[in-house]
Amino acid sequence: MFSQLKEDLKVVFERDPAVRNVFEIIFCYPGFHAIYFYRLSHWLWIHQQKFLGRLVSHFGRFLTGIEIHPGATIGRGFFIDHGMGVVIGETAEIGDNCTIYHGVTLGGTSWAKEKRHPTLGNNIVIGSGAKILGPFTVGDDSKIGSNSVVVKEVPATATVVGIPGRVVISGEKQVGVDLQHGKLPDPVAKAVSCVFDQLHRLEDRVEQLQAEQQELQQELAHYRKSEPDEETV
């Protein structure tokens, strides 16, 4: 138990530069509290005490603003920063060393009693307000930008942004857990920029054709003036 506590405290120190001491984490970090409520409720859940598991989970939600279903599966090194509004569904699976921020939803898109929530690999970072909806996998070392809505599979080492979420960077393994939101590409702005570039090229081409047409008209007019008159001949 103490080794687990030590590991959880170490995770917070590594990923939150605002933390100052152990007592601050133990008494003032709702994400830290939510993990321990989850562990107790999950233990009750897998030992067939489902009502008590849901009750503990509900109490944890009341105190922390973080809702983690006791049926979810969460690996080691999990960190929730700030945490208010986080929802993790019953069949969600989270790998090791994952970090999520406030307002994140790991939700489902079906009412059927089946796997309906996402599976996160290892070393995932999910920005604030992101929604990951459906029973698909988010690959290892991937990053989800803030307020993105992800509804389909994400490959490993990918960065996803937008609504719906689109892969804007692929094959770039992250170092640390920083999302660096200011450096994330904007696919919509990029598409608009491409349209404007194409428009400028078309405008240049039209101007070129107009200039060529004007030259031809001038040459034709000059040729007609220099031609001998038939009546004179």
Q: How far is CA 194 from the centre of its chain?
A: 24
Reference 166, options 183, 190, 196, 197; nearest CA is 190
User: What is the pLDDT, as a whole number, of residue 56?
Assistant: 96
Give the model's confidence band at 174: pLDDT under 50 very low, under 70 low, under 90 confident, else very high.
Answer: low
Residue range 23-60, pLDDT digits in tens: 999 999 999 999 999 999 999 999 999 999 999 999 99
Q: How many CB atoms lie within 10 A of CB 88?
A: 27
Mean pLDDT (whole number) for 88-102: 94
User: What is the pLDDT, as a whole number, of residue 175?
Assistant: 47
Q: In this model, does residue 220 exceed pLDDT 90?
A: no
Q: Which DSSP symbol is given to 149?
A: E
Q: CA 107, CA 21: separation in Å to the nearest integer?
A: 34
Reference 11, options 79, 98, 95; nearest CA is 79
Of the ranges 100-104, 189-193, 220-224, which one carries the lowest mean pLDDT score? 189-193
In the three-class reduction of DSSP (H, G, I as helix; E, B as strand; rest coil), residue 164 is classed as coil
Q: In this model, does residue 131 exceed pLDDT 90?
A: yes
- For the sheet with 93-94, list strands across it: 73-74, 93-94, 119-120, 137-138
Q: How many CB atoms lie within 10 A of CB 154?
A: 24
User: What is the pLDDT, as a whole number, of residue 219?
Assistant: 80
Q: CA 101, CA 144: separation in Å to the nearest integer?
A: 11
Q: 171: Cβ–Cβ under 8 A, 6 or more apart, which residues? A: 157, 158
Q: Show the tokens assigned to 127.
A: 């920005």
Residue carrying structure tokens 């049926």: 71
Mean pLDDT (whole number) for 61-67: 95
Give the model's confidence band at 64: pLDDT under 50 very low, under 70 low, under 90 confident, else very high.
Answer: very high
Q: CA 109, CA 190: separation in Å to the nearest integer?
A: 30
